Structure 1
């Protein structure tokens, strides 16, 4: 169910590969600000508008519908991603959505199906898969000797993170790690999930299995004020951590490289995608299962 982009402007004019791509960036937070900066700095792109969520729905709608806009970068609060992605596709625009795309497998299928039916590109940005550390883990897995992966993540419980937690979407909050695991190991299966309250937040533990027998232990700790950190261990059947050969990572910032991928995909280079539609849908399904089995809801004081 890959989306088939249509290289045509909103005015109906066919665009060549050397034409500037007109952008509307929705969202004035860190991601939106970086996106707008990288678009302005690129010789292949043109920033038509940069609109913050606080400017209201009317301003956002006008930015998307602008006939000079070919593509929309959705960098709003997580809960708004699906809504504005759908709005942009229905307005005839290609879409780049900051991770995560949406809140459930069902929504992901609907969004990708809509984009495909309208001949539009729905690009889910997951820049964690472009990092040097992920390249190292890919090199470790390439040895074929991995028996177990242990992932420990910790972070705060604030603003949009707290909102996701309030809705019980602890699995969705782990999707960055889940997407990386899916790319490293292939399709995942949930074996066991537990989630307990701690320090006004939670500790989530999920045991997973890959199709080729790699066991995975994912631990996520989140509470107010907790400093963000993560640790990965990839070990063989003797419990020894695997080494890796030196890896080469492409030059440029992560958002800039993702923008380059978007342009190549829009120009018809489907092989440029670093994560597929089916990958995103599969991980959304795993996140849904983890959230359902965690049965966790915060106390009011945890997110006040």
Structure 2
């Protein structure tokens, strides 16, 4: 019998995933990986298959619930939803007024995550190393890609949901950052804050189809090419560090649909030059401290969940 403690731990892991997914540049999949629930999550999502449909048509609700690991998904998704709906304002506030400290925390988190995930590679060889290097290049390319300017049509909202959700379950790739690249981040976040049901339903439908399809592919690669897949995911996390570097100068800006000026292209700079170039306080001591805290959080999560009690 699963105890209340396991449910609470899983719920808070969901909250951590939701917080990460709300920040462009940080992946909820990273949190899932380091907290020991990643493969269970992928297996659970993959369980929405023909057998699940057959059980539903046979009105075998209990069989369906057990087949898709319903308790696990319900508790985890409740945590993710809680974070996205209740903490998105706080995260946006920190991004606006204290970006250096927020990014520093996530920089430490991603560094530690890459180390922890790389330990899951059972054997290093040529293909594994190449996979890791390609992952680094891909992760870096994603961070330097220029955001698009798109119209917020419903069909594109649907497509954005499909693409972003796939990134959200990949360690190292942020679904939120993919939305930034697609030019849909603020539009979707505003829809959540304003409770625009039509946009939320369309986006969620795209996300549901995307994640159910992608989870089958991801599960297959983890089973058939485990070391190569883990190496690629590790590489993506290393490459994505370019995005979460705390000190940047703005090269080019763009104007949102609300008339606000936002950074479009940024360049990483040293904290010692940050004030002279931007006129902003680098908060170096606080940033270093938060980076160390982020690093420590990862190892605490890994230690807390050596083996997950929720099996798919």
After TM superposition, the score normalised by the length of structure 1 is 0.27
Q: Which has the higher helix share?
A: 2
After TM superposition, the score normalised by the length of structure 2 is 0.27
> Which has the bigger relative contact order, CA under 8 A and spacing at least 6?
2
